[in-house]
């Protein structure tokens, strides 16, 4: 969450790597699916929050990258 807040405030995405963010997103998404398959509220809750953060960082990276 601190990374999302800082990126939102400063609009500086130069330190973020889009390929790394995408790999992270896929990994968290996989854990989220695993949480649903195992019916584990703690895994679902933790990865739901993380996937929203990862999505926001990907969004900021795409929107605020200077072309």
Full pLDDT tens readout for the chain, 67 residues: 778 888 888 888 888 999 999 999 999 999 999 999 999 999 999 999 999 999 999 999 999 887 6
- Residue indicated by tokens 């809750």: 45
Q: Give domain status of residue 60, yes or no.
A: yes
User: Rounded to whole angstroms, how far apart are CA atoms 24 and 67?
Assistant: 24
Q: Give domain status of residue 13, yes or no.
A: no
Q: Are the CB atoms for 55 and 3 separated by under 8 Å?
A: no
Q: Give domain status of residue 8, yes or no.
A: no
What integer pLDDT is reported at residue 67 of this predicted model? Answer: 64
What integer pLDDT is reported at residue 35 of this predicted model? Answer: 97
What integer pLDDT is reported at residue 32 of this predicted model? Answer: 97
Domain count across the chain = 1
Q: What range does the domain containing 50 cover? A: 31-67
């Amino acid at each position: 969450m601190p990374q999302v807040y800082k990126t939102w405030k400063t609009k500086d995405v130069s330190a973020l790597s889009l390929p790394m963010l995408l790999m992270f997103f896929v990994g968290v998404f996989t854990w989220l699916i695993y949480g649903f398959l195992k019916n584990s509220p703690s895994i679902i809750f933790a990865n739901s929050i993380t996937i929203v953060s990862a999505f926001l960082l990907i969004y900021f990276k795409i929107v605020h990258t200077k072309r």
